[in-house]
C-alpha cells in the first residue's frame, strides 16, 4: 500500500471576517478552477461552506442561486464558465452512497464542490483542494486551504480575501 500523496499547495490559513469575505474568497478560488477540480469543504453547521460555494458560483458566473443541497444531496449549475456540481454529503454514511451519486461521471467537465465530504470523496480523484472552515468570534472564520496532488503543484492559493 502506498503512502498518501503529500499536499502540493498550502496549507494557507486566512481569516474571513464576514459572509461577504467568504463569498469574495470563493470568487478568488473560482478564478483558479479548471474542469475536473474537486473541492472538499469541511466545517461545522453554519461554518460558511455554502456561503463560500456561493462565491465560487458567482466567480464561475453560474446563473441562478446557489443554495445548500442538503435535501437533494447534489445540484448542478450550468451556464457559467464551467459547470458547478454542488453536493452535500452530510446525510451520506459511506463511500458506497457517494458512489451512488455518480459524481465521478461529471468530474472531468465540472468543478465539484462537496460539503461534508471529508473521508468520503477523496477516492474520486487524487487531486483536490481541501478547505477547512473553523468559526471564531462573531462571524470571523479561519479558512485553511490545502491543495493535494499534482494538479495543485505550483498553484498560488489566495492568502487573503
**Where does the chain have alpha helices with state H?**
19-30, 49-59, 95-100, 103-107
> What is the gyration radius of the CA atoms in the chain, in angstroms?
14
How far is C-alpha 63 from the geometric centre of its chain's CA atoms? 18
Does the structure show a pLDDT above 90 at 148? yes
Longest Cα separation, the chain: 44
CATH topology of domain 29-135: Rossmann fold (3.40.50)
pLDDT of 2:
47
**Cα distance between residue 154 and residue 68, in whole Å:** 31
At 50, give phi and psi (nearest 5°).
-70, -35
The pTM score is 0.86
- Residue spans of the domains in the chain: they are 29-135
Do 134 and 142 touch, CB atoms closer than 8 A? yes
Q: How many CB atoms sit inside 10 A of residue 126's CB?
A: 13
**Cα distance between residue 19 and residue 39, in whole Å:** 19
Average the pLDDT over 48-61 and give the result: 97
Does the structure show a pLDDT above 50 at 121? yes
pLDDT single digits (tens) 7-54: 577 799 999 999 999 999 999 999 999 999 999 999 998 899 999 999
pLDDT single digits (tens) 67-104: 876 655 677 889 999 999 998 875 555 555 555 555 55
Amino acid at each position: 500500500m502506498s503512502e498518501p500523496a503529500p499536499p502540493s499547495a498550502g496549507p494557507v490559513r486566512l481569516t474571513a471576517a464576514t459572509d461577504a469575505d467568504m463569498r469574495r474568497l470563493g470568487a478568488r478560488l473560482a478564478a483558479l478552477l479548471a474542469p475536473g477540480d474537486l473541492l472538499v469543504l469541511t466545517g461545522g453547521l453554519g461554518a460558511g461552506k455554502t456561503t463560500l460555494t456561493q462565491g465560487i458560483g458567482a466567480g464561475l458566473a453560474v446563473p441562478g442561486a446557489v443554495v445548500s443541497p442538503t435535501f437533494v444531496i447534489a445540484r448542478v449549475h450550468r451556464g457559467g464558465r464551467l459547470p458547478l456540481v454542488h453536493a452535500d454529503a452530510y446525510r451520506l454514511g459511506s463511500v458506497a452512497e457517494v458512489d451512488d451519486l455518480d459524481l465521478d461521471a461529471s468530474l472531468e467537465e465540472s468543478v465539484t464542490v462537496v460539503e461534508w465530504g471529508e473521508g468520503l470523496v477523496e477516492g474520486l480523484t487524487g487531486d483536490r483542494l481541501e478547505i477547512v472552515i473553523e468559526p471564531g468570534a462573531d462571524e470571523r472564520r479561519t479558512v485553511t486551504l490545502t491543495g493535494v496532488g499534482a494538479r495543485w503543484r505550483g498553484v498560488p492559493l489566495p492568502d487573503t480575501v
